[in-house]
Structure 1
């Protein structure tokens, strides 16, 4: 089996893996100006692990010039991919570097093929099966087999029937969230391409984090303040909604996370608790108005969950300046703040850029780790079932170090780099 790492190998962003020069797994987009995509490729078929920009964001560009490879994904990933693509064009409508066109987004409907978990399908001469990855709704571990071996069978020695089984983990989480249950599927594999986003992080108890988050929101409102919760549109906004509903905390929800929540109602069978999700949808107050309404909401003693999660745009850029002047108010981050973003600067320095002006923020700032990725212990727990496989560590800032630690623990492990070709032999 031949693996070509086009992106997302020794870094986080624009993931893409080409298998046997024919099957493409993921084709992500990295933001900035200009937008960055993996190298151009013309696959026979595409498989997408989940609906985050760094894994699905550049997929419409594969349909340029009349190309029409079939695109395989779960129903939630299909819903999210179209929404993210339209949002990407909206954000770049006045820029020269749009990565695809509206026509290419429309063409997604011509080539889309959806599959549930545990349902094998054929793609570019390979048998492929999705397994629940517990990251965001519809996220999947992708099992790729060169022959018709059943993914449900017991563990056998690598190559004993002349085939290679590749497990591409995608992004995954082994712990339970309110939105999703943790990943529990461990299909047989000879090679594991494993994400390592938090390979050097041990996360605290999630229940304690949730209690601390809920307490901070309640105390802020009780003291007459407003809490703004910058959150990623896909996954984290809905998780924050569920936490607020579970703790009887009223909240507004603004930004693209509103449309994501509505689309997830169409595929609620992929959620951990559809009844809880419907309850959170009923009790949240969705914001549909313009800037004036947002300013009036910010003046209330309330909780506002809003995009953008790193303060790089979105309604958060209205709400945070409105509440910045009082330490009674709170900015509660629920996602990782990448160094160099306004969110990171606000956390570290108490100031950030809004509309081109760097402003001090007197409101309290707190970070709550609601990550939907497996941490160090979660990654090790997942990989203990693959001690006989070769592990390729990707999608992290320290993939070399993680691979070295795995080798010390007795694994066959290595860390490929972007552009590298790896050939798996029996």
Structure 2
């Protein structure tokens, strides 16, 4: 058994998730994200470390995307349409449906509004998504005669998945982002009991002890109610698709229970959600 791991992004940083794992000669790229805080070459993973010659099709067995947030999928059109990767790409059906919307919204913001150099075009996004193979949760896919993969429910956002991969007798799981606490629109992550040779997990809050979800929601709603009751307005910018929808459900439920008549307005932009209460 031989396992090698090449971390191209999200190692000791938040953003640009991209890990290449080699298992008995099979190379799998997990996630292909961009770093939202960088504007130079550091925005994308250093793909040259996968193959000096740039022959990514022979260098990789497949690419797996865990969910549609840009720090996990943002570099994919660049990798396929600019760098030339044309091999299999796997993600869940919701991820395939929402990824092009996120990518096009990002492209418009960066190019049309900020005037940055275009890294990939709308056509690149379309052509990239044509290469994607969608799969269901818990569906086992035989990538080739030696490699099989399976997606497990990760919570976090709609379509997010943890991915199991097996080559011969060697087994591993890559989690991407996951959530073990259910919220108002998504359940907690679920996975089978497995005997793994390798586990790669996100650990953004691994050393952070946070209050319970209920305590945080209570403090949030208390602050909002206090402000609007005194005639004020509350603006809530949320920068992640999924979190905005959770806040909408939370506020709507609270408004109904408290019989509040103050209007709630929701901005529809993908990169910036705004509540004006």
* Same fold, TM-score > 0.5, yes or no: yes
User: Structure 1: 5+ residue runs without aligned partners?
Assistant: 148-162, 258-306, 310-314, 320-329, 331-426
Equivalent of residue 137 in structure 1, options 144, 158, 167: 158
Quote the residue 1:254 is aligned against: 267
Higher relative contact order (CA 8 A, sep 6+): 1
Equivalent of residue 232 in structure 2, options 209, 225, 228: 225
3-state SS of paired residue (1:121): strand
Equivalent of residue 178 in structure 2, options 165, 172, 176: 172
Taking the aligned partners of 1:204 and 1:165, their CA distance within structure 2 comes to: 35
Does the CA contact (< 8 Å) of 2:165 and 2:172 recur in 1? Answer: yes
CA offset at residue 165 of structure 1?
A: 0.7
Taking the aligned partners of 1:11 and 1:67, their CA distance within structure 2 comes to: 26
CA offset at residue 232 of structure 1?
A: 2.0
User: Map of 1:365-404 to 2, 5 A cutoff?
Assistant: none
Taking the aligned partners of 1:120 and 1:227, their CA distance within structure 2 comes to: 46
- TM-score, structure 1 normalization: 0.55
CA offset at residue 96 of structure 1?
A: 4.7
CA offset at residue 221 of structure 1?
A: 1.5
1:82 aligns with 2:100: yes
Taking the aligned partners of 2:13 and 2:139, their CA distance within structure 1 comes to: 31
User: Map of 1:194-205 to 2, 5 A cutoff?
Assistant: 194-205=201-212
Taking the aligned partners of 1:207 and 1:100, their CA distance within structure 2 comes to: 42
1:108 aligns with 2:113: no
Does the CA contact (< 8 Å) of 1:119 and 1:130 recur in 2? Answer: yes
- TM-score, structure 2 normalization: 0.82
Does the CA contact (< 8 Å) of 2:81 and 2:128 recur in 1? Answer: no
- Larger mean CA deviation between 185-194 and 167-176 belongs to 185-194
3-state SS of paired residue (1:170): coil
Does the CA contact (< 8 Å) of 1:7 and 1:38 recur in 2? Answer: yes
Does the CA contact (< 8 Å) of 1:23 and 1:123 recur in 2? Answer: no
1:243 aligns with 2:250: yes
1:54 aligns with 2:71: yes
CA offset at residue 114 of structure 1?
A: 1.1
Taking the aligned partners of 1:30 and 1:99, their CA distance within structure 2 comes to: 13
- Alignment root-mean-square deviation, CA: 2.2
Taking the aligned partners of 1:68 and 1:215, their CA distance within structure 2 comes to: 51
Residue deviations 1:151-193 (CA, integer Å, cap 9, x gap): xxxxxxxxxxxx2111111111111111211113244122111
Equivalent of residue 29 in structure 2, options 24, 27, 36: 24
Does the CA contact (< 8 Å) of 2:81 and 2:127 recur in 1? Answer: no
Does the CA contact (< 8 Å) of 1:233 and 1:255 recur in 2? Answer: no
Larger Rg: 1
Residue deviations 1:319-370 (CA, integer Å, cap 9, x gap): 7xxxxxxxxxx9xxxxxxxxxxxxxxxxxxxxxxxxxxxxxxxxxxxxxxxx
Equivalent of residue 8 in structure 1, options 7, 10, 14: 10
User: Structure 2: 5+ residue runs without aligned partners?
Assistant: 51-55
Taking the aligned partners of 1:110 and 1:223, their CA distance within structure 2 comes to: 53
Residue deviations 1:289-319 (CA, integer Å, cap 9, x gap): xxxxxxxxxxxxxxxxxx637xxxxx68xx7
Taking the aligned partners of 2:71 and 2:152, their CA distance within structure 1 comes to: 20
Taking the aligned partners of 1:135 and 1:224, their CA distance within structure 2 comes to: 34
Taking the aligned partners of 1:67 and 1:92, their CA distance within structure 2 comes to: 24
3-state SS of paired residue (2:123): helix
Quote the residue 2:53 is aligned against: none
Taking the aligned partners of 2:101 and 2:61, their CA distance within structure 1 comes to: 24
Closer, same or farther in 2 for the Cα pair 1:102/1:44, shift >3 Å? farther
Taking the aligned partners of 1:102 and 1:231, their CA distance within structure 2 comes to: 25
Taking the aligned partners of 1:251 and 1:205, their CA distance within structure 2 comes to: 26
Taking the aligned partners of 1:186 and 1:220, their CA distance within structure 2 comes to: 45
1:39 aligns with 2:46: yes
CA offset at residue 37 of structure 1?
A: 0.4
Quote the residue 2:216 is aligned against: 209
Quote the residue 1:308 is aligned against: 272
